[in-house]
């Protein structure tokens, strides 16, 4: 028979195993303590394998698959299906010159990637549409949405499309391609990394300069600050309360909630991107910038050059240009913009609110192109002074208006929120609101100040961190983690874009 000591050891073993197995209520994210410890152990082994290329690549792939398992459980097999199928499809495409055969192969890649994406993400959405048209009752299927499926399918699809266009030569080593698709810093929430940018880095000798290391540490700290301090705090303590029951709050409270969500989603997503880019730098890899102070934009076109750059350029290169871009007349260009953003909205989620969000942005892009045409302004030309200030003000509020539909799951809640803003504002409640939520508004003010600050501020801060000795970097990181622990909520706050 077991004694008490055996029972305790069994409980300890069960608890230990539960930490390292998949928990749907606690997916592993960059800002979690478990990831920090695992990454420290991973880095130690990674450095030991610095001169053993194949072993190092295999180790990173295995860790990346474990990272994805901790995020989505056994659905890591989808990652393997996409990887193996697209690797061989690209190889087969390379071996044939017949145009129709190459088209068949790229169509097969599209069917596999978009088929998986459609099944896991859009089945119930299409069932609802069909049921509504048929006049019957809708039946929802219990289909789990794997984390990051939109990201890694788009990333792998860009590879086969580039091979089809003969812009890159396909890889001959499956391990290299598995490394590219599964590389854990950008696996579950981007940025969407292009094969032409990343693949040439895979077999280079491992080298991390002092500048790369310092910049990587700075980006990780910046991302952690945005996500775990600003985004999570204003979300839990203010934004969620407003969006959950907008009719219970006055218009001024709803407006502040909308501003808060605009800051929350930016800090959440750009914070993840910062950490992903920073972690990649520590491992010797370069990612392109994914956010560039988007709320400084003076037009909706400029906004999409600054917001989620990896997705906006993907949609431009593989969808907008494929539809004809601006090569078939102005009317066709406007239609192409609206179709592209409609599909971009649908990419974010299987819901009419995302579709409306995408269409609103598409119409705004088309309207801006039309306005540039009648005013004779050139592409990329920027306004200055009061014109730029007004442009930034209008663009920011249009983006915030669209965020209302993006954030709410149904139109009724969105209409209720907007109705409160426009018909029940009560500006006299603003001082009371500030006093009651002074900490939230202090973090919001800090977030917006840092966002609108001159770029040289960030450049100066990055250089200052880079020049610090290792002990100085460690002390800064420890202080930031301590601050995170002091203000974080009890429940883990997953990144918003995990659901996409």
Given the structure tokens 């995302």, which residue do they identify? Answer: 354
Q: Which residues are catalytic, by number?
A: 348
Q: Where are the beta strands (DSSP E) in 28-123?
A: none
Decide if pLDDT at 13 tops 70. Answer: no
Cα–Cα distance measured from residue 64 to residue 47, given in angstroms and rounded to the nearest whole number? 16
Do 197 and 232 fall into the same domain?
no
Do 138 and 218 fall into the same domain?
no
Q: Residue 183: which residues within 8 A CB-CB, separation 6 or more?
A: 60, 64, 193, 198, 280, 285
User: 99 pLDDT band (50/70/90 cuts)?
Assistant: confident
Residue pLDDT, tens place only, 225-237:
898 889 988 998 9
Domains of the chain: total: 2
Do 178 and 256 fall into the same domain?
no
**What stretch of H or E contains 159?**
helix 149-164
Provide the 3-class DSSP secondary structure of residue 7.
helix
Domain containing 454 equals: 210-298+382-495
What pTM did the predictor assign?
0.89
- Both tokens of 3, joined, read 């004694």
Residue pLDDT, tens place only, 115-154:
998 888 888 778 878 877 777 666 777 777 787 888 889 9
Single residue among 183, 202, 221 that ends a domain in this structure: 202
Is residue 70 in some structural domain?
A: yes
Is residue 444 in some structural domain?
A: yes
Is residue 310 in some structural domain?
A: no
Is residue 443 in some structural domain?
A: yes
Do 150 and 260 fall into the same domain?
no
Do 286 and 404 fall into the same domain?
yes
Do 246 and 149 fall into the same domain?
no
Mean pLDDT of 4-17: 53
Single residue among 202, 226, 251 that ends a domain in this structure: 202
Do 69 and 125 fall into the same domain?
yes
Is residue 403 in some structural domain?
A: yes
Provide the 3-class DSSP secondary structure of residue 72.
helix
Do 61 and 142 fall into the same domain?
yes
Do 97 and 217 fall into the same domain?
no
Single residue among 202, 219, 240 that ends a domain in this structure: 202
Decide if pLDDT at 491 tops 70. Answer: no
Do 155 and 37 fall into the same domain?
yes
Cα–Cα distance measured from residue 79 to residue 168, given in angstroms and rounded to the nearest whole number? 22
Residue pLDDT, tens place only, 198-212:
999 999 988 888 888
Least confident residue range of 203-212, 300-309, 479-488: 479-488
Do 89 and 170 fall into the same domain?
yes
Do 175 and 250 fall into the same domain?
no
Mean pLDDT of 416-444: 91
Residue pLDDT, tens place only, 310-360:
999 999 999 998 888 888 888 888 999 999 999 999 888 878 899 999 999
Is residue 22 in some structural domain?
A: no
Is residue 317 in some structural domain?
A: no
Is residue 20 in some structural domain?
A: no
Are the C-beta atoms of residues 255 and 300 closer than 8 Å to each other? no
Q: What angle do CA 444, 449, 452 make, to 5 degrees?
A: 125
Residue pLDDT, tens place only, 81-94:
999 999 999 999 98
Cα–Cα distance measured from residue 282 to residue 291, given in angstroms and rounded to the nearest whole number? 20
Residue pLDDT, tens place only, 448-458:
999 999 888 88
Whole-number average pLDDT of the chain: 86
């Amino acid at each position: 028979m077991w004694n008490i000591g055996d029972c305790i050891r069994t409980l300890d073993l069960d608890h230990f195993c539960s930490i390292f197995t998949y928990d749907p209520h606690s997916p592993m994210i960059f800002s979690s303590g478990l990831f920090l410890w695992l990454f420290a152990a991973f880095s130690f082994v990674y450095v030991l394998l610095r001169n053993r290329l194949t072993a190092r690549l295999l180790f990173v792939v295995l860790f990346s698959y474990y990272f994805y398992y901790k995020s989505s459980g056994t659905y890591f097999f989808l990652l393997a299906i996409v990887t193996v199928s697209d690797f061989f499809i690209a190889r087969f495409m390379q071996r044939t010159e017949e145009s129709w055969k190459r088209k068949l192969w790229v169509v097969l890649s599209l069917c596999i990637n978009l088929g998986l994406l459609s099944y896991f993400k859009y089945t119930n959405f299409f069932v609802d549409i069909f049921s509504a048209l048929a006049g019957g009752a809708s039946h929802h299927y219990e289909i789990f949405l794997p984390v990051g499926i939109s990201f890694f399918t788009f990333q792998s699809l860009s590879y086969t499309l580039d091979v089809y266009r003969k812009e890159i030569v396909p890889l001959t080593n499956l391990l290299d391609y598995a490394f590219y698709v599964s590389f854990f810093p950008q696996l579950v929430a981007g940025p969407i990394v292009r094969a032409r940018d990343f693949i040439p880095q895979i077999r280079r000798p491992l080298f991390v300069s002092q500048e790369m290391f310092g910049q990587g540490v700075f980006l990780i700290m910046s991302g952690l600050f945005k996500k775990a301090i600003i985004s999570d705090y204003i979300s839990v303590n203010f934004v969620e309360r407003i969006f959950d029951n907008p009719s219970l709050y006055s218009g001024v409270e709803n407006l502040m909630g909308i501003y808060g969500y605009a800051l929350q989603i930016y800090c959440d997503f750009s914070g993840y991107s910062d950490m992903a880019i920073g972690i990649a730098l520590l491992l010797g890899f370069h990612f392109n910038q994914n956010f560039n102070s988007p709320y400084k934009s003076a037009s909706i076109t400029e906004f999409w050059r600054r917001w989620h750059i990896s997705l906006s350029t993907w949609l431009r290169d593989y969808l907008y240009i494929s539809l004809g871009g601006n090569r078939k007349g102005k009317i066709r260009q406007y239609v192409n913009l609206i179709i592209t953003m409609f599909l971009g909205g649908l990419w974010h989620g299987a819901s009419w609110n995302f579709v409306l969000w995408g269409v609103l942005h598409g119409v705004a892009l088309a309207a801006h192109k039309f306005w540039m045409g009648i005013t004779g302004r050139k592409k990329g030309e920027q306004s200055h002074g009061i014109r730029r200030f007004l442009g930034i003000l209008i663009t920011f509020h249009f983006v915030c208006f669209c965020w209302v539909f993006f954030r709410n799951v149904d139109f009724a809640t969105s209409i209720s929120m907007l109705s409160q803003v426009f018909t029940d504002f009560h500006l006299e409640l603003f001082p009371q609101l500030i006093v009651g939520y002074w900490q939230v508004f202090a973090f919001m003010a800090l977030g917006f100040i840092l966002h609108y600050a001159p770029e040289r501020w960030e450049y100066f801060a990055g250089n200052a961190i880079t020049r610090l000795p290792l002990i100085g970097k460690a002390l800064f990181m420890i202080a930031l983690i301590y601050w995170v622990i002091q203000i974080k909520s009890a429940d883990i706050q997953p990144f918003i874009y995990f659901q996409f």
